[in-house]
Copies of this chain bind each other. A is one copy, B any other.
Amino acid sequence: MKLLMNKRIVIIGAGNVAYHLAPAILKAGFNLCQIYSRHIESAKDLGMKIGIAFTNKSDAVFPDADIYIFCISDDAILSVFKELRINKNALVIHTSGSMPMNIFEGLTKNYGVLYPLQTFSKKRALVFNEIPLCIEASNVTAKKELREIATKLSQYVEEVSSEKRKTLHIAAVFACNFVNHLYDIAFEILQKDSLDFSLLRPLISETANKVMTLLPADVQTGPAVRGDKSVLAKHKEFLKEDKKWNELYCLFSDDLLRNSEK
Are A181's CB and B248's CB within 8 A? Answer: no
Q: Known contacts being A171-B189, A247-B251, is A132 close to B180, with CB within 8 Å?
A: no
Residue A49 at the B interface, CB < 8 A? no
Q: Does A215 contact B (CB under 8 A)?
A: yes
Q: How far is the CA of A25 from the CA of B218 in the complex (A)?
A: 26
* Contact, CB under 8 Å: A181 / B119: no
**Interface secondary structure of A, over-half rule:** helix
Q: Which residues of chain B are near A187, meaning CB under 8 Å?
A: 171, 215-217
Given A190-B167, A204-B211, A247-B251, A180 contacting B235 (CB threshold 8 A) = no
Query: Which residue of chain B is the closest to A207 with respect to CB atoms?
Result: B176
A210 within 8 A of B: yes
One complex includes copies of this chain to the number of: 2
- Chain B residues contacting A256 (CB-CB under 8 Å) are 177, 181
Q: Is A205 an interface residue (CB 8 A)?
A: yes
Chain B residues with CB under 8 Å of A175's CB are 182-183, 186, 200, 203-204, 207
- The answer to whether the Cβ of A2 comes within 8 Å of any Cβ in the partner chain is no
A174-205 toward B: CB 8 Å interface, digit per residue (1/0)?
A: 11111111111111011011010101111111
* Residue from the list B158, B178, B202, B219 in contact with A252, Cβ < 8 A: B178
| Given A119-B222, A174-B185, 20 additional A-B pairs, CB 8 A | A73-B226, A74-B230, A74-B231, A117-B200, A117-B203, A123-B218, A131-B202, A167-B190, A170-B238, A171-B200, A174-B186, A176-B221, A178-B252, A180-B219, A180-B220, A181-B256, A183-B211, A197-B211, A201-B212, A205-B208
